[in-house]
Amino acid sequence: MGAKRDMALLVGDNPFHHISHWSQERAKARGDKLKDPEYAADLISISVDNGANGFMFSVSETTLSILRVLHERGEIGRLTFYAIVPYAFEYVRLANKLGGVPGLAKKFAKEIVLSGNLWAASRGLKGVLCADLASIMKAYLSYEISRITSSGGKKANLQSVMLHELITDMALAFNLDWLFKAYIDFMLKCTVTPGFNTGNFAFLVKKFREWNIDLKKITVAAPFNKVGFQMIPSKTECEKALESFHEPIVIAISILAAGYLQPIEAIDYITSLPNIRGVAVGVSREKHARETFSLINERLALCK
Amino acid sequence: MSGEKLRVVVVGLGKMGLLHSGILNVLEGVEVVALCDKSALVRRFSKRVFKRAVVTADVEKLRGLDLNAVFVTTPIQSHFPVVKSIFASKLTFNVFVEKTLAASYGEAEKLCELARARGSVNMVGYMRRFAVTFRKAKELLAGRILGDLISFRAYAYSSDFLSNATGTGASAFRGGVLSDLGCHVIDLALWFFDEFHVDLAEVGSTNAEGSDDHVFFRVSNSDGFGGEFDVSWCMADYRLPDVGFLIVGSKGVMKVNDDKVELRMKNGKSHSWFRHDLDDNVSFWLGGPEYFREDECFVKALKEGKGAEPSFYTASKVDQVIDEVKRRAGLDGR
């Protein structure tokens, strides 16, 4: 039992976006230092020195700046990357400011055209003209991948592109099996592992099996923590779904339950679970970066 | 209605319309049979996504669908004409409306009257009533844990229009800061403390002359209990909107927001509850657990033929306070 293999130990990007699922007060208290891409890159480097081997991030100007710093410092090859798209918060905020979905669509179309990615622009145009969501999705993914590679350079090892939980869970709610399948096919053609960030892990597993989606080809990022925080519908159901796999596909997120748990108890719970491919943990200070990943490695070593 | 699937239509497919459609689609015993939106582009895509649902631009065209309920998630300014036309065409009398109920108290009163005359199940989307922290606060207040209430301070902050380059158009589209953000904290205050009247109100503009970006107001009731509200969507570092209260009583103080409830009692005891401690999980996660609980509550009321809260009548009181604040601040003529 337990996830002891070569796990992906990922630095999460929530602190760099001023996100704390514990409280907004805590996020604000962290101060402006985390907004500096140089400092964020320092934290990632310290994490890597202490055992981290990857970076999970929502694709935004903030995180792309961090990738650029890592690239300039020649450190990009030390990590694998798990990118989450779209950065839903930014798009929802923009939709609010621009007067809803149509305003957002116009702004986004303009950005793709200005990016010079002709393949994405033509796909996107076709998608709009034919009301073809799959084409629009492919255009969008192509655009986002090109942003990542142009920031991280050729040595950036993009392991997985994951659909943000808002999109994954909305598509699950609407039973859009064809959209999931189109996404998986497209990502596999790009030689990138298709991934899904979800708040409904047990539901996703059930649905994907119903739709004959090969779970071995994908990665899923979902909350797993000792207190069952955000494990929907329950800790028991999520653990059962996890046990039903034959190999690790899951990146555990929210393992500290947003700071509610002590790192040692959080990590011990994760190492007791089967089929965990990796974990993602955000770090906001040098000490935190050193201690968190050292501790994860230490506890994993005990499991071997 | 028991045994059969409830047939529901969603009018307005912006982000809230999509969110409610998604939740309704996974709720047991519910079927989204139709969608309605004015935008041709949105309708074209909706037809691809909702292959079994009727997609139309006009509420009138929903006749004959044998509907059990309508969710109205259009911009606030259109709530009154849309709900009125739903009642007039007798599509169904069971209506859920996203907050606020209407653009003015006058319109809200008319909708309450229509709903009352038809005996409908109705509800308004003040989802923070379904957040575990605010529920805990309500339970503690109902148990008089703070003793006699003395005063409160309430806030609702976001960074949505901090350094807004789009001018007043987008903020007006959302109905202004009071209707868009302040309504949540007003609704919670009415839920916690019952009725009050507005004594003073001030409005400030950040983005452009005439835009209502910050609102401060004081309220009190006939017992002398009162409090103040501070509402702004131009605050720095509010990645998500934040709503909260500091409530002072004869026995202690309570702080509550979306993340936690804290009690500091005069006898030296204190206690904090985080979302983690308050059984925050639901059957399906979309946008946050509050939305699922809210829709589940409305659907349960429909199935049982009982009233749901916050009803039109309850929510109309929020519109009344908003109108009063605007009048006090000299905004009612705009």
- Contact between chains at A99 and B169 (C-beta distance less than 8 A): yes
Query: Which structure tokens are listed for B188?
Result: 């919670």
List the one residue out of A188, A190, A245, A237 whose CA is nearest residue A220. A245
Whether residue A4 has pLDDT greater than 60: no
SS3 A204: helix
- Contact between chains at B259 and A257 (C-beta distance less than 8 A): no
Whether residue A19 has pLDDT greater than 90: no
Query: Which structure tokens are listed for A55?
Result: 């970076």
Contacts (Cβ under 8 Å, ≥6 apart) of A61: none
pLDDT digits (tens, 9 = 90+) for B290-329: 999 999 999 999 999 999 999 999 999 999 999 999 999 9
pLDDT digits (tens, 9 = 90+) for B135-191: 999 999 999 999 999 999 999 999 888 865 455 455 565 668 999 999 999 999 999
- Select from A96, A228, A231 the Cβ nearest to the Cβ of B174: A96
- Select from A18, A101, A260 the Cβ nearest to the Cβ of B14: A101
- Select from B48, B174, B284 the Cβ nearest to the Cβ of A131: B48
Q: Quote the CA–CA distance of A204 and A211 in Å, as a whole number.
A: 10
- Contact between chains at B274 and A22 (C-beta distance less than 8 A): yes
pLDDT band at residue A115 under the 50/70/90 scheme: low
Mean pLDDT, rounded, for B207-220: 83
Here the contacts of A98-104 (C-beta below 8 Å, separation 24 or greater) are A98/B166, A98/B170, A99/B166, A99/B169, A99/B170, A99/B173, A100/B14, A100/B15, A100/B173, A101/B13, A101/B14, A101/B15, A101/B39, A101/B42, A102/B39, A102/B41, A102/B42, A103/B170
- Contact between chains at B287 and A166 (C-beta distance less than 8 A): yes
Q: Which of these ranges, A25-29, A67-71, A256-260, B309-313, has the smallest mean pLDDT?
A: A25-29
Chain B residues whose beta carbon lies within 8 Å of the beta carbon of residue A97: 160-161, 164, 166, 170
**DSSP symbols for B299-333:** HHHHHHT---SS-HHHHHHHHHHHHHHHHHTT-TT
ipTM: 0.92
In the numeric block, the tokens 């929510």 are attached to B315
Whether residue B2 has pLDDT greater than 60: no
Contacts (Cβ under 8 Å, ≥6 apart) of B294: B123, B125, B127, B129, B130
Chain B residues whose beta carbon lies within 8 Å of the beta carbon of residue A133: 45, 48-49
Q: Quote the CA–CA distance of B302 and B7 in Å, as a whole number.
A: 11
Contacts (Cβ under 8 Å, ≥6 apart) of A165: A88, A197, A198, A199, B285
- Contact between chains at B166 and A97 (C-beta distance less than 8 A): yes
Task: Identify whether the C-beta of residue B28 lies closer than 8 Å to the C-beta of residue B296.
Answer: no
Q: Quote the CA–CA distance of A142 and A125 in Å, as a whole number.
A: 14
Chain B residues whose beta carbon lies within 8 Å of the beta carbon of residue A25: 259
pLDDT digits (tens, 9 = 90+) for B95-134: 999 999 999 999 999 999 999 999 899 999 999 999 999 9
Whether residue A128 has pLDDT greater than 60: yes
Q: Quote the CA–CA distance of A180 and A175 in Å, as a whole number.
A: 9
Q: Is A170 on the interface with B (CB under 8 A)?
A: yes
Whether residue A70 has pLDDT greater than 90: yes
Contacts (Cβ under 8 Å, ≥6 apart) of A212: none
Q: What are phi and psi of B305, to 5 degrees?
A: 65, 30
**In chain B, which ranges are continuous DSSP H helix?**
15-26, 40-49, 79-88, 105-118, 132-142, 168-173, 176-177, 183-193, 289-304, 312-328
Residue A162 burial by Cβ neighbours in a 10 Å radius (0-12, 13-18, 19+): buried
- Contact between chains at A23 and B240 (C-beta distance less than 8 A): no
pLDDT digits (tens, 9 = 90+) for B199-210: 999 998 776 666
Q: What amino acid is encoded at A178 in this protein?
A: W
Predicted pLDDT at A3: 43
Q: Quote the CA–CA distance of B231 and B245 in Å, as a whole number.
A: 12
Q: Which of these ranges, A230-244, B186-200, B225-239, has the smallest mean pLDDT?
A: B225-239
Q: What amino acid is encoded at A220 in this protein?
A: V
pLDDT digits (tens, 9 = 90+) for B34-74: 999 999 989 998 998 888 899 999 998 999 999 999 999 99
pLDDT digits (tens, 9 = 90+) for A275-304: 999 999 999 889 999 999 999 989 888 776
Chain B residues whose beta carbon lies within 8 Å of the beta carbon of residue A22: 259, 274
Task: Identify whether the C-beta of residue B329 lies closer than 8 Å to the C-beta of residue B201.
Answer: yes
- Contact between chains at A96 and B160 (C-beta distance less than 8 A): yes
Contacts (Cβ under 8 Å, ≥6 apart) of A291: A263
Residue B217 burial by Cβ neighbours in a 10 Å radius (0-12, 13-18, 19+): buried
Q: Quote the CA–CA distance of A222 and A237 in Å, as a whole number.
A: 13
Q: Is A132 on the interface with B (CB under 8 A)?
A: yes
Query: Which structure tokens are listed for A53?
Result: 């081997």
Predicted pLDDT at B236: 84
SS3 A302: helix
Q: Which domains does chain B have, with CATH numbers?
A: 6-126+290-311 (3.40.50.720), 129-280+317-328 (3.30.360.10)
In the numeric block, the tokens 């002072």 are attached to B248
Go through chain B and tell me how many residues it has. 334
- Contact between chains at A174 and B238 (C-beta distance less than 8 A): no
Q: Quote the CA–CA distance of B161 and A37 in Å, as a whole number.
A: 24
- Contact between chains at B161 and A97 (C-beta distance less than 8 A): yes
Q: What's the CATH superfamily of A8-303?
A: NADP-dependent oxidoreductase domain (3.20.20.100)
Q: Quote the CA–CA distance of A200 and A198 in Å, as a whole number.
A: 5
Q: Quote the CA–CA distance of A82 and A78 in Å, as a whole number.
A: 14
CA of B182 to nearest chain A CA: how many angstroms apart?
A: 16
Task: Identify whether the C-beta of residue A96 lies closer than 8 Å to the C-beta of residue B170.
Answer: yes
Q: Quote the CA–CA distance of A68 and A74 in Å, as a whole number.
A: 10
Report the first-to-last Cα separation within chain A, whole angstroms. 11
pLDDT band at residue B94 under the 50/70/90 scheme: very high
Mean pLDDT, rounded, for A176-200: 96
The percent of residues above 90 in pLDDT, for chain B, comes to 80
How many other C-beta atoms can be found within 10 angstroms of the C-beta atom of residue B333? Answer: 6
Q: Which of these ranges, A28-42, A44-58, B119-133, has the smallest mean pLDDT?
A: A28-42
Whether residue A22 has pLDDT greater than 70: no
Q: What are phi and psi of B16, to 5 degrees?
A: -70, -35
Query: Which structure tokens are listed for A122?
Result: 């033509």
Q: Which residue of A has its CA nearest to B287?
A: A166
Q: What are phi and psi of A54, to 5 degrees?
A: -160, 175
Q: Give the count of alpha carbons within 13 A of A256, CB side only.
A: 18
Can you say how many angstroms the Cα of residue B149 is from the centroid of all Cα atoms in its chain? 25
Mean pLDDT, chain A, integer: 88
- Contact between chains at A131 and B47 (C-beta distance less than 8 A): yes
- Beta partners for residue B216, in sequence order: B202, B230
Whether residue A201 has pLDDT greater than 90: yes
